[in-house]
Amino acid sequence: MGKELHRVSNPNRLWYLTLKNLKMMFRDRIQWLWLLGYPVIFILLFAFAFDPGVFNIMAPAAILIGPLVLISQLASHFAEEKESGAMRRLATTPVSRKTILISGMTAQLIIGAVQIVLLLVLSVVFGAKIDPGANIGLLFLIPFLSCFTSLGFGLLLASFIKTSSSAGALAWFIILPLQIIGGLTTSEPLIAGFPTSFAVDAMRKVMTYGLTSFDAIGLDLLGVVAWGLITTVVGIILFQRKTAIL
């Protein structure tokens, strides 16, 4: 890998590493089962457990479960890179730590985008109704912004853990509160102010009621963006300070 990176021009190293990360993920069937299977299970459970009216309320929340999976995925990815010595080897190449970091995040964002599209399609296939006035772009944008919050939490975990098994276990201490308290498995958030609370409120307003004005969803969008910026920036800072690559 080191020799190949030496031959790759500096602007292309980010994409080279991003593609490398994606290829590794594509080869791991267990990862795909976790990344796609977990959120899809919620779509199926909500579709068969609730009547159509309730499913319409729960479907927007189920779509947001996809981005939460990225917390454990990103933390596990960097933990595996440290365990295998890949980060140590990359440190001997012209690739900066920032490039290594961004390439891992970019790969997860691509996976997150695929998740969102799949979950939106599945929710409609299983009976969720999208209001005729709903903005499709917002239905993608809101969960995509939530991906940044998940990546921030994932980086926080990756800063302190050293094994992929630890990442998978500890991630649930973040995923479950965000999922349950944030309202992804209930009809409404239990506590306002969580990143998932803002996101699910915005998704329901857009998808179920067709609301798109700033008065209706502006504060929710600002809340999602604020959480995304805070967790991602703090996660990057701590990852670069705490993670021992050499």
d(CA 165, CA 66): 20
**In the chain, % of residues over pLDDT 90:** 25
pLDDT, tens digit, 9 for 90 and up, residues 31-69:
777 777 888 888 888 888 888 888 888 889 889 988 998
- Helix axis angle for 136-160 and 195-207, nearest 10°, is 160
pLDDT, tens digit, 9 for 90 and up, residues 199-241:
999 999 999 899 988 888 999 999 999 999 999 888 888 877 7
**How many residues would you count in the chain?**
246
- Helix axis angle for 97-125 and 136-160, nearest 10°, is 140
Task: Output the pLDDT for position 86.
Answer: 64
Q: How far is CA 141 from CA 129, 146, 193, 203, in A?
A: 18, 9, 19, 10
The token pair that represents 170 in the structure block: 């500890």
Task: Output the pLDDT for position 104.
Answer: 84
Residue indicated by tokens 């490398």: 20
Q: Is 34 exposed, middle or buried (0-12, 13-18, 19+ CB in 10 A)?
A: middle
Residues 201, 119 contacting (CB under 8 angstroms): no
- Whole-prediction pTM: 0.85
Residues 156, 56 contacting (CB under 8 angstroms): no
pLDDT, tens digit, 9 for 90 and up, residues 135-165:
999 999 999 999 999 999 988 888 887 777 7
Helices (H), 161-213: 164-170, 172-180, 195-207
Domain boundaries, the chain: 2-242
